[in-house]
Amino acid sequence: MYKIKHNQDNNIIEVEHSNTKLYAKLFNNYGGTLQELSLKGHVIIENLAPLTYDLTYASSILFPFANRIKDGAYKYKGEKHQFETNLKEENNALHGLVFNKPFQVIEKSTSETSATVVLEYNETGISIGFPYTYNIQLKYVFTKNTVSLTVTAKNTSQKTFPFTLGWHPYFLSDNLYDSVICFDSTKKILMENRNITDGFKDIDPITDFYVKDQKLDDCWVLDSDEIKFKTPKYELIMTSSAENNFLQLYTPPKANNIAIEPTTGVSDSFNNKIGLQTLKPNESYEITWDLTIQDSLIND
């Protein structure tokens, strides 16, 4: 039987099923993030300590923008706006506004085959640089070999606003050097010296990307909605329900971890419009990312 434990003191949720070797840990006060995950007994996502959350943004939901906004500045419908530049060394705004917000639990349920947790953050004030209100819901569904994350963003203000969305999970391999990331792409995003998008580059078709000892903070345009992470011990498949998908890869200063970030836009999207969408008052946008661990490659 699946079990859900909610520690009210620190607002942390643990989900487990001993027979299927599932374990998950959600930090609701840190943006409702999935900070630990084991599937079929394999650690897929680990605590990145001693690296701290304010430096890693581990598993954070990136809204209303993914990645960076150059100098935190943009113009929308003729009006200039200024985000806080929380990435001081680059003088950029980074990863949106909800990564550090406290999410509330609005649903917990279990069955013989799954466990479901729904979290919510409701922004009723006017944020610096984003003069709109909104509601974000995160729906996590866990089974013995899958995790589904559905993010629903609703515009609760009186004006249409721009947005992109992303997810920032780090995945663990017992040997990242020998791991492979499989995705379909023929275009790479070019970056200037502050990691701001500077156009596209046509590349030979990618199917297998070998991590080796590369230090990555790179982005590609995806030609499909599927990404595979092949490690010596397991294979993980990530899919997206979005029509347009981008992939950001980042290697942190912790061995054998890599951020595999699906996004709907690129850095500085509020200015270059790449992947940028708009949401009208009272309308919602929904995206689902699914993770599946391949049983056939698991050595139980």
Alpha helices by DSSP H, 23-165: 53-56
Average of per-residue pLDDT across 273-284: 98
Question: Among positive and negative, which fits the CA dihedral 140, 141, 142, 146?
Answer: negative
Average of per-residue pLDDT across 158-171: 98
Count other Cβ atoms within 10 Å, centred on residue 175: 12
pLDDT at residue 235 above 80? Answer: yes
- Please give the structure tokens belonging to residue 298: 């698991």
pLDDT of 63: 98
Domains of the chain and CATH, by start: 3-297 (2.70.98.10)
Distance, CA of 166 to CA of 220 (rounded, Å): 14
Average of per-residue pLDDT across 53-62: 96
Does the model's pTM come out above 0.85?
Answer: yes
SS3 for 143? coil
Alpha carbon 125 to chain centroid, angstroms: 24
- The per-residue pLDDT for range 73-101, each reduced to its tens digit, is 999 999 999 999 999 999 999 999 999 99
Smallest CA-to-CA distance from 139 within 155, 157, 123, 153 is with 153
SS3 for 87? strand
pLDDT of 19: 85
Average of per-residue pLDDT across 283-292: 98
Average of per-residue pLDDT across 194-211: 95
Distance, CA of 217 to CA of 195 (rounded, Å): 8
Distance, CA of 20 to CA of 11 (rounded, Å): 25
pLDDT at residue 198 above 80? Answer: yes
Q: How confident is the model at residue 295 (pLDDT cuts 50, 70, 90)?
A: low
Distance, CA of 298 to CA of 300 (rounded, Å): 6
